[in-house]
Amino acid sequence: MNISAKDFGPNFHWGVSTAAYQIEGAHDKYGKGPSIWDDFVQRKKKILNQHTGDIACDFYHRYTNDLTLVKRLQIPNYRFSISWSRILPNGVGQVNQAGIDYYHRVIDFCVELGIEPWITLYHWDLPLSLHEKGGWTNRDIIQWFSIFVETCVKHFGSKVKHWMVLNEPMVFTGAGYFLGVHAPGKRGLNNFLAAAHHAALCQSEGGRILRSMQSNLKIGTTFSYSHIEPFLETSDKDIKAAKKVDALLNRLFLEPLLGLGYPTKELKLLSRIEKFMRQDDEKQLAFSMDFIGLQNYTREKISHSYMIPFMQAKIVKANKRGVPSTLMNWEVYPPCIFKALERYGSYSQINEIIVTENGAAFEDHLIDNQVIDIQRTKYLQEHIAQVRLAQQKGIPVNGYFVWTLMDNFEWAEGYHPRFGLVHIDFITQKRTIKMSGNWYRQFLSKLSEV
């Protein structure tokens, strides 16, 4: 890799990302209410090895040490999420002062260390009390979410400049309300479409609230994006199937935000979302974000399948194609991040793109207090090189955040897949910087060279 961090320019944002439920622990302490993930992990066979995020990385108690690690790695920006039920234990109503104080401590310590804090408002941990009222399928979620956003901006808006409204709405609605493999474990097309439409409305409404309460904030939201290709490029059926999957996975939330409406032309199924729409909703879906967060890990090959309901399309997994893959069975294909950035750059409504997540899980082995994760190091190098290529092509990409700072609770996969730059021993909570973390530190260290 013959490029340096300096090549990206002095205003490029280099960082690392985490999420509250995946690292904080202290799940039922200091006034925090239960979230849908606190509930979901207690259901048998829902999580690999029946792991939970009850303790996770114990970041709640160890944040000073962990943020000091961020500083040691010379990472200038730290993205983290706020646990809704730590701030508002019942989702709305009385504020938990202990939760407010905790996030003030985290933010203040970031600032003290010279690390810029970036806040994600919603990273999947809906308060359980709101789920019991329908959660994302209940249109009242717009009002509930507005209260949460207002509370956060009121308390932290003077200290934090960069805000992201939602994290990957396609994932938390699709996996949580259609497939049932993530919290809250709901299934069915109607559940998904209702949740998706309400999340899309919250996405824009959250942006409007942030901007109205404090005009100097940099406001964005984040989307998962997998580059989609037909399995057989000569097959008309595979080509059509790929377009449908692309509309669902990559365009469903982005295009309404940009004022383009839902992509019903390529996926007629989405026209059923109209039953959940009210007058002026299409207008309300649109909001001009300052930046769009792109979260890319892989590409997917799609084949036609009569057997798959609604879509008639299926993903041909990496192991079925005999291609290099991660522990998540995601293909390692560095050009996918260039192609994702190129796609986002084709929308005239997008002014700035930040890669808010990119990373990989591989088999890590702690030997003699070292983790020699050559595959992850190479993955990061090759993907960062593709980001630089996109920048050289004039695509407005202006940041790159690694997922993730440290090994953590990876949702339905428990603690099995390790994505971190820092290895965590989940029994002793010992932290060990991996080879990839040391490489990232050396890469970023050039930013401070005179």
Residues taking part in catalysis: 168, 357
Query: Can you tell me which residue has the tokens 């003077």?
Result: 158
Residues 6+ apart with CB under 8 A from 48: 412, 413, 414, 416
| Residue 215: Cβ within 10 Å count | 7
Residues 6+ apart with CB under 8 A from 341: 294, 353, 355, 386, 387, 390, 395, 397
Hey, what are 194's tokens?
Answer: 């209702």
Number of H helices, E strands in the chain: 16, 15
| Residue 310: Cβ within 10 Å count | 13
The H or E element containing residue 166 is strand 162-167
| Residue 286: Cβ within 10 Å count | 17
Q: What is the 3-state secondary structure (H, E, C) of 66-79?
A: HHHHHHHCCCCEEE
| Residue 35: Cβ within 10 Å count | 29
The H or E element containing residue 316 is strand 313-316
